[in-house]
């Protein structure tokens, strides 16, 4: 007779951008955040936008390679600059890239504290890169996450099922004990396929109330 271990929800795992960390969700938005008022009055498209608009395949490959830890930040910025034929310097690419990280959603630190007080293990599993990882390391809420894992460390990207399995091996967490939050439906779909409970978050609204509601529903928080 087969037996099944009960779900315990002893692990709560978060994506970062759009769940715990507020970000610009597109290169265009990051460019706009860096354009001066004077430049914003110019109707000529900013040359940094050409990277994504006219070099979509190359842009996607560079982002993916950086997220998988295959491309250093300096090389990423240099090659992005080359896509603009030097109109945007590597230094300015780096500045735009850094500005993708906006800050933390309100209430994240308290949420993590409450989970830890309940004896729940917290973790992140994010598609990110070493440069953003270093920026986030200075955010107290990021440092409060107990187990931090990401694509550039595993050299795998979500929604590849292998990255979820790599996380399980690294943490010894059982799929049945994981409650996972992400803002992208394909990642949620694959997480469910590999046996995790997974909740889709809307990054355009405050995320912590959404997370708390789900945690109460699943019996993680009172």
Judge if 81 and 108 occupy the same domain: no
60-114: pLDDT as tens digits:
999 999 999 999 999 999 999 999 888 889 999 999 999 999 999 999 999 999 9
Total structural domains within the chain: 2
Question: What pLDDT, on a 0 to 100 scale, did the predictor assign at position 45?
Answer: 59
Could you tell me the residue range of the domain that residue 146 belongs to? 11-23+103-217
Q: What is the CA radius of gyration of the chain?
A: 19
Question: What pLDDT, on a 0 to 100 scale, did the predictor assign at position 44?
Answer: 54
Judge if 110 and 172 occupy the same domain: yes
Question: What pLDDT, on a 0 to 100 scale, did the predictor assign at position 38?
Answer: 37
Question: What pLDDT, on a 0 to 100 scale, did the predictor assign at position 84?
Answer: 85
Token pair for 141 = 């809420």
Res. 173: pLDDT tops 50 = yes
Judge if 159 and 180 occupy the same domain: yes
Question: What pLDDT, on a 0 to 100 scale, did the predictor assign at position 8?
Answer: 65
Rounded average pLDDT over 22-27: 94
- Note whether residue 2 is domain-resident: no
Judge if 167 and 129 occupy the same domain: yes
Judge if 112 and 39 occupy the same domain: no
Residue 70: closest CA among 153, 126, 149? 153
Judge if 74 and 144 occupy the same domain: no
38-75: pLDDT as tens digits:
344 444 557 777 677 778 899 999 999 999 999 999 99
Res. 36: pLDDT tops 60 = no
Categorise residue 96: left if φ over 0, alpha if ψ from -120 to 50, beta otherwise.
alpha
Residues 81, 86, 92, 98, Cα dihedral to 10°: -10
Token pair for 165 = 């399995």
Question: What whole-number distance in Å separates Cα of residue 45 and Cα of residue 147?
Answer: 42
Could you give the percent of the chain with pLDDT greater than 90? 80
CATH number at residue 150: 3.40.50.1000
Judge if 126 and 85 occupy the same domain: no
Question: What pLDDT, on a 0 to 100 scale, did the predictor assign at position 47?
Answer: 73
Question: What pLDDT, on a 0 to 100 scale, did the predictor assign at position 85?
Answer: 86
Rounded average pLDDT over 195-199: 98
Question: What pLDDT, on a 0 to 100 scale, did the predictor assign at position 7?
Answer: 58
């Amino acid at each position: 007779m087969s037996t099944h271990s009960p779900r315990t929800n002893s692990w709560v795992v978060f994506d970062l951008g759009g769940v715990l960390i507020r970000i610009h969700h597109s290169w265009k938005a990051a460019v706009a955040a860096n354009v001066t008022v004077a430049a914003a009055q110019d109707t000529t498209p900013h040359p940094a936008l050409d990277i994504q608009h006219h070099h979509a395949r190359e842009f996607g490959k560079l982002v993916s390679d950086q997220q998988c830890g295959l491309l250093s930040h300096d090389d990423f910025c240099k090659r992005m600059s080359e896509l603009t034929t030097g109109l945007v310097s590597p230094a300015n690419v780096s500045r735009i890239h850094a500005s993708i990280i906006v800050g933390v959603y309100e209430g994240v630190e308290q949420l993590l504290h409450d989970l830890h007080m309940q004896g729940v293990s917290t973790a992140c599993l994010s598609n990110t890169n070493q440069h953003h990882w270093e920026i986030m390391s200075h955010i107290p809420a990021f440092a409060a996450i107990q187990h931090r894992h990401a694509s550039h460390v595993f050299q795998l990207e979500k929604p590849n099922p292998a990255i979820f399995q790599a996380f399980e091996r690294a943490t010894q967490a059982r799929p049945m004990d994981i409650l996972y939050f992400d803002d992208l439906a394909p990642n949620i779909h694959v997480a469910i396929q590999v046996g995790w409970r997974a909740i889709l978050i809307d990054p355009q609204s405050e995320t912590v109330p959404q997370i708390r509601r789900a945690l109460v529903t699943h019996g993680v928080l009172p």
